[in-house]
Amino acid sequence: MQKKKRWPRDEILYNKVQENEFLNFFDFVRYLGFRVCKTPKMKNYLTCLLTWHKFKDLSSRRARSMLLLFKQFKIISVNIPCFKTLCNYREDSCLLELLDNLIEESSKPLAKIEHDFATDSTGIRTKLFSMWYSLRINKKIKKRDHITAHISIGVKSKIVTALNIERGKDNIIFREHIDKTSENFKIDEWSGDGMYWSKANCKKVVEHEGKPYFKVKSSWNGKQSGVPAWKEMNLASINNKEEYDKHYHKRSTIESANMSKKMLFGDKVYSKLKFARINEESLKWINYNINVLNRAMYEWKINPLED
């Protein structure tokens, strides 16, 4: 059987990034804790939660055992709460704002190299079933519920600049992500698939001095409808498709980011409560960003730990 061809890569650089992933992880956790947490107690909990979700499919009891092991070998120096306290803290709705700030702080160092962005959503499995639907159709179903992760990334490093864990409201979330990202990044281009093809989204990108590249649908009526950039984008897609697609297909890197996160940190959440599910998935995306920061240290010589 013929071996499948692989994209060429710098093996020396790749090895260096992989070998130092765990060595640098706790330094980045301390760095983010210092930037975001206001009290030592909050830093303790953050270190425990991020370390727990660094490892895929780890129960709270086994996670506490692992944390105690790290403390015994002096890898971390925090107070380890009982497993129930850890779960209670992860269920707290007040944690949402902190995790949102962590996504922002973990992406800021790459503002030097990121100017093109893309947005997409991906489904995350849960362990729950839709009971209301089973009752409605009077039949037990095997299909589990899911949550949706909306992410916006820089297409060069695949760093996540904005994150929402909720179902629906795709275009509203898209515009919120542009506003969040523009606070720390200069926007040149923003791409998205056909789901984001709308005048309001196009207008929002242009407001932040960016150029939109969406999957243009055949239903366009040829009018600008008060948004000149809307007509320009659609015409460019029709009249110069090859050049347009070079920019539009930058969004393909977001599929790679979704796959990378799911391979490293899992594609499902185990929590049953609403805020616990959101926080669990957010912690995994923060750990994904920490991995990107680790890569940035060696590939682009960007080291936030030295700032």
Q: What is the per-residue pLDDT across 269-304, written as a single tens digit (0 to 9) for each?
A: 999 888 999 999 999 999 999 999 999 999 999 999
In terms of residues, how long is the chain? Answer: 307
Residue identified by tokens 């060429």 is: 8
Report yes or no on 48 lying in a domain: yes
Residue 226 is predicted with a pLDDT of: 81
Tens-digit pLDDT profile for residues 137-182:
666 666 678 899 999 999 999 999 999 998 878 999 999 999 999 9
Report yes or no on 24 lying in a domain: yes
Closest to 300 (Cα-Cα) out of 13, 6, 9: 13
Report yes or no on 215 lying in a domain: yes
Residue 146: enclosing H or E segment and its boundaries?
strand 144-154
* Mean pLDDT computed over 183-196: 95
**Which amino acid is it at 109?**
P
Residue 146 is predicted with a pLDDT of: 85
Tens-digit pLDDT profile for residues 28-50:
999 999 999 989 999 999 999 99
Report yes or no on 6 lying in a domain: no
Percent of the chain having pLDDT more than 70? 93
Report yes or no on 2 lying in a domain: no
- Tell me the HSE value of 288 on the side-chain side, using a 13 A CA sphere: 30
* Mean pLDDT computed over 87-101: 94
Q: Read off the tokens for 117.
A: 């962005």
Question: Which residues 6+ apart lie within 8 Å of 258 measured at CB?
Answer: 120, 122, 151
Residue 168 is predicted with a pLDDT of: 78
C-alpha span between 143 and 146 (Å, rounded) = 9
Region for residue 46 given its phi and psi (left: phi exceeds 0; alpha: psi -120 to 50; beta: otherwise): alpha
Domains of the chain: total: 1
Confidence of residue 90 (pLDDT cuts 50, 70, 90): very high
* Mean pLDDT computed over 202-212: 95
C-beta of residue 234 within 8 angstroms of C-beta of residue 220 = yes
Report yes or no on 4 lying in a domain: no
Residue 254: enclosing H or E segment and its boundaries?
helix 252-265
**Which amino acid is it at 18?**
Q
Closest to 157 (Cα-Cα) out of 7, 28, 302: 302
Question: Which residues 6+ apart lie within 8 Å of 52 measured at CB?
Answer: 58, 60, 63, 66, 67, 86, 283
Phi, psi angle pair for 213, to nearest 5°: -140, 100
Residue 223 is predicted with a pLDDT of: 80
Q: Does residue 193 carry a pLDDT above 60?
A: yes
* Mean pLDDT computed over 54-62: 93
For the question of whether the overall pTM of this predicted structure is more than 0.85, the answer is: yes
Domain enclosing residue 86, as ranges: 11-306
Q: Are strands 116-129 and 144-154 parallel, antiparallel or unpaired?
A: antiparallel
Q: What share of the chain is helix, strand, coil (3-state, %, to 5)?
A: 55, 15, 30
C-alpha span between 303 and 305 (Å, rounded) = 5
C-beta of residue 214 within 8 angstroms of C-beta of residue 250 = no
Q: Read off the tokens for 126.
A: 């849960």
Q: Are strands 144-154 and 160-165 parallel, antiparallel or unpaired?
A: antiparallel
Residue 130 is predicted with a pLDDT of: 63
Report yes or no on 243 lying in a domain: yes
Q: Read off the tokens for 150.
A: 């909306």
Q: What is the DSSP letter of 74?
A: T
Confidence of residue 133 (pLDDT cuts 50, 70, 90): low
